[in-house]
Structure 1
Amino acid sequence: MLVSFAGFSKDQLMAHKAEMNLTGKLDNGKIQGNAYMGCNQMSFTSEFKKDGIVKISQGISTMKACQDMNLESSFQKKIETMTKYSVEGHFLTLSDNQGNTMKFVAADWD
């Protein structure tokens, strides 16, 4: 579950049921991931390296017209710019070279 993302409160993220799933099949070190930000499904490929480096491909998305697409648009633009990751307990934090971050918590924790 996405719990921290610039410009959005935790309440907004929870209301949109914002989440990213990285439990896809591992293939040549890459994971097929997907995300849901309240209306559309997004899909991308991610590669997490042992040195804290992450590569996330440009995603594809369903194209439903949604009432509020601000979170989806922001997430889709930023997810592919993330270059670093850290794991602390049940939290995964992604960051880019400009100091932007996305913080996730395992779905069974809040």
Structure 2
Amino acid sequence: MKKNSGITILIFCIFVLQSCFSQQQMAYHSLQKKWMLVEMGNFSKEQLIKANAFIDLQQKDKKSFANMGCNSLIFSYKATSGKIKFPPVASTRKLCPQQMEIEQYFQNILPEVESYMIEGHFITLKTSKGEVIKAVAEDWD
């Protein structure tokens, strides 16, 4: 009887661990999307939408992209369990006076981001100072 109890406990533990792993993988896969910015700094939602501002996180550990209405912004990232790290951002060098302020802000804040949270179709990227970038999944209808 003790042998059967031990096996039952072992099987239960395996299911619990697999469930935790599956939830982490699901959270990671939900991170890998193209996200349309709706909130960042003092910029209005309308400004971000007009600029077609997005961050594309579909390529983990490879080149990821963003655009704030002018230049292509290139970076990589590493993410685990709600934590995320971005190195400095590289970009093309076009001059677009109306989008440069949004782009410069994004380039400065992104390397400071250290956590993320996904709620429904929204992602919130957050710095240690509490600054936020919020975006909605592009494939959300």
The answer, yes or no, to whether TM exceeds 0.5 is yes
2:94 equivalent among 53, 56, 64: 64
Shift of 1:44: 0.5
- Structure 2 distance, partners of 1:106, 1:99, is 22
Shift of 1:31: 4.3
1:83 equivalent among 114, 119, 123: 114
- Please identify which structure carries the higher helix content: 2
Q: % of aligned pairs identical?
A: 38
Match of 1:21 in 2: 56
Matches within 5 A, 1:88-103: 88-103=119-134
Shift of 1:107: 0.7
- Structure 2 distance, partners of 1:72, 1:6, is 11
- Is 1:32 the counterpart of 2:67? The answer is no
2:78 equivalent among 44, 47, 53: 47
**What residue ranges of structure 1 are gaps of 5+ in the alignment?**
none
State the number of aligned residues: 105
RMSD: 1.2
Q: Please list the CA deviations of residues 67-94 of structure 1 after superposition, one character each: whole Å capped at 9, or x if unmatched.
A: 2210000010001110011011111110
Letter in 2 for 1:11: E
1:7 equivalent among 35, 42, 56: 42
Match of 1:107 in 2: 138
Q: What secondary structure, in the 3-state scheme, does the structure 1 residue paired with 2:107 have? A: helix
Q: What secondary structure, in the 3-state scheme, does the structure 2 residue paired with 1:4 have? A: strand
Contact 1:16–1:37 (CA<8 Å) still a contact in 2? yes
Larger Rg: 2
- Please identify which structure carries the higher strand content: 1
Shift of 1:109: 2.6
Shift of 1:108: 2.3
Shift of 1:32: 2.6
Contact 1:34–1:41 (CA<8 Å) still a contact in 2? yes
